[in-house]
Amino acid sequence: MSMKFDDGMQFKDALKKYSVAERREIKFIKNERKFVRAKCADENCPWKISASFDARSGSFHVKTYHEEHTCSISFNNKRVTSSWLAKHYLGPIRAMPTMKTAAFGELIKDQLGLNVSMNQCTKAKLLAFEVLMGNYKNEYAKLWDYAEELRATNPGSMVTLKVEKPNIDSKALFERMYICFAACKKGFLDGCRKVVGLDGCFLKGICKREILCAIGRNANDQMFPIAWAVVRVESGDTWSWFLGNLMWDLNINSTYGQGWVIISDKQKGLLQAVADLLPAIEHRMCARHIYANWGKKYKGIQMQRLFWRCAKSSTMVEYDEHAQALKKISPAAYHDLVQTEPKHWSRAFFTTEVKCDIIDNNLCEAFNGRIIDARCKSIYSMLEEMRTMIMTRMHTQRDACARWRRDCGPRIVKKLEENRRDATYCRVLWNGDDGYEVLDKSVKFVVDVSMRECTCRRWQLTGIPCPHAISALNHKKKDAYDYIDECYKKAKFLAAYQNMLKPVRGERFWKKTNGEAPEPLPLKVKPGRRRHKRLREEGEASSRTRMSRRGMKMTCRTCRKTGHNSLTCPVKNTMCTTSQTQLSRKKHLVQRRTSEGANGNVSGTPIASDALITHVHGTVENTSARQDTR
């Protein structure tokens, strides 16, 4: 039975795929609408094929086919054009839009075994981007219907879409979109502490946007996504809008933040938005980012250790000791550090109500890491991947809870076991009631078992017994696991994951809305070479294998002093200036003597000044001697 194709175009596409797979170059002898004939590009090779349209079946039939090749494989193929590459590699370009042209060429060579030019790769990427931009516009156009579908399938969810029209006659442009599912909102309020991490990150696709996210902390100290938004830029206006929606969803607008904790970096516009909308909230700032900025000026292991000791101090006494030690070493470093009030980044100033002592914003960093692949896609595909990721995470976390060996999560067990090991070095003195004096490395602490308090404040801050409390509980023959706060128990964890996200129907089943289809903002290409890697913070590990020269002191090889190189050496420049002056004087002397010899009608060939200038230091005396002889 002969091979059949729908039309001549499908047949030619199949021939191109065969040519690439077999690495044999073919050429079309006859290329008509109803008849196609091709043969191997090597004249001595017998391979050939022909197909024509069959009127009875209405399809393209292969009439003759000689499948044997006697030629060798080829690493060049004219059938592999830039348009074919754009169509074939549309998926990888969509996933990696920032891929360099050279890397794209290496990918083609590795997968197809063919050599392609840089010009072909560049054209292929441009053609693929044109197709992707069309897909981007189509995905933006369906956002109104998508938002309505999310509200219909997940009742109680808040989905807000905002567009803007610069002029009455202009098209609607996408401005921002906020999503908070009812399952995430109820799960956070029922099973998580009142701690919210806020952060923003950039999208990596063709259309540049930013994602703002609000992340909670579950009973196992893991991230719990609450809400997220796609905005045009990160600013005070977008953060105020995002916080306003979040306050409404979490019912914290009437208290102005009393009893809540927000953790963030120094995001652009966020500090002022929090101060305006939540004046009574405890606003913690990521200590890692504070050190990254402060450590640019004050470097060294000693400075780094003192900063983190100040940040991790759980009591005011401990904080004052480390702060004074820092001030003694460098008053300027201490003065610059406290410009950001310690209540934002030191545990000694944190409240004990929320049972959370974190000083970094790793909650949001973990969420941003989970959606890093989704951030490369267009807006609808990205939002859908985020939704499916969270929908899957809700039930997998609930199922994982059934494997817990204790009444609290594995991370909490690990922390308690670390405290239990440290408790072996403590000495206990009992007062006959619930009071204990615990000696730890020559420092005495007081533990009240009934009040669940210790003068180190670690028990109050975290809700997990500290080493001093565990020593007292061991003396009282009590199990430390019974004194872990209720916010870490299995019941709280299951309460956070008892509400599941509802499935969403396909696009063909959506209810059509009358909203004007929004469009993405036009691309703005900045001048200069495009940066493919993000700027790393001070102290962050480099991705390169070679050691960086940043921070090294330069030594001049001329004067052996630090702070400059030989090109800018003042000593060398002075020497060069003197040498140039002497050289110019000798050149003038040579030229004058040459001209005098010519005017005096000296016999013989005149002495060329250019030849004398070549080595002027050694030839001035010889010139004088030759002129005297003449």
Q: Which two tokens stand for residue 371?
A: 């959606």
DSSP per residue, 60-121: EEEEEEE----SPP-S--TT--HHHHHHHTHHHHHH-TT--HHHHHHHHHHHH-----HHHH
Blockwise average pLDDT, block size 10, the chain, 630 residues: 81 88 87 90 90 88 88 85 87 80 88 87 84 78 94 95 87 93 96 95 80 96 96 92 95 80 88 91 93 91 95 96 95 94 95 93 92 86 93 95 93 95 93 90 92 95 96 94 95 95 93 86 65 61 63 80 83 64 64 61 42 40 39
CA–CA separation, 288 vs 431, rounded Å?
42
**DSSP code for 615:** T
For the chain, which residues make up each domain, given as ranges?
A: 4-66, 82-140, 142-285+360-404, 287-356, 409-483, 570-629
End-to-end CA distance of the chain: 106
Give the pLDDT score at 604: 43
Over the range 531-549, which residues count as b (16 or more CB within 10 Å of their CB) and which as e? eeeeeeeeeeeeeeeeeee
Give the pLDDT score at 606: 43
Contact between 623 and 593 under an 8 Å Cβ cutoff? The reply is yes
CA–CA separation, 531 vs 100, rounded Å?
11
Over the range 131-167, which residues count as b (16 or more CB within 10 Å of their CB) and which as e? ebeebbeebbbbbbbbbbbbeeebeebbbebebeeee
- Residue 217 main-chain phi, psi, to 5 deg: -135, 115
CA–CA separation, 92 vs 97, rounded Å?
8
- Is residue 460 exposed (0-12), middle (13-18) or buried (19+ Cβ within 10 Å)? buried
DSSP per residue, 10-73: HHHHHHHHHHHHHT--EEEEEE-SSEEEEEESSTT---EEEEEEETTTTEEEEEEEE----SPP
- Is residue 552 exposed (0-12), middle (13-18) or buried (19+ Cβ within 10 Å)? exposed
Q: For 228-257, write each residue's pLDDT tens digit.
A: 999 998 999 999 999 999 999 999 876 777
In DSSP terms, which residues pair with 437 in a beta bridge? 429, 446
Give the pLDDT score at 197: 96
Residue range 142-285+360-404 forms a domain whose CATH class is alpha beta
Q: For 434-458, write each residue's pLDDT tens digit.
A: 899 999 988 999 999 999 999 999 9
Whether this prediction's pTM lies above 0.75 is answered by no
Give the pLDDT score at 368: 92
Give the pLDDT score at 620: 39
Vertex 91 angle, CA 376 and 206, to 5°: 35
* Dihedral of the alpha carbons of 390, 391, 392, 394, in degrees to the nearest 10: 80
DSSP per residue, 518-556: PBPPPP-PPSSPPP-SPPPPTTPPPSSSSPP-TTPPPB-
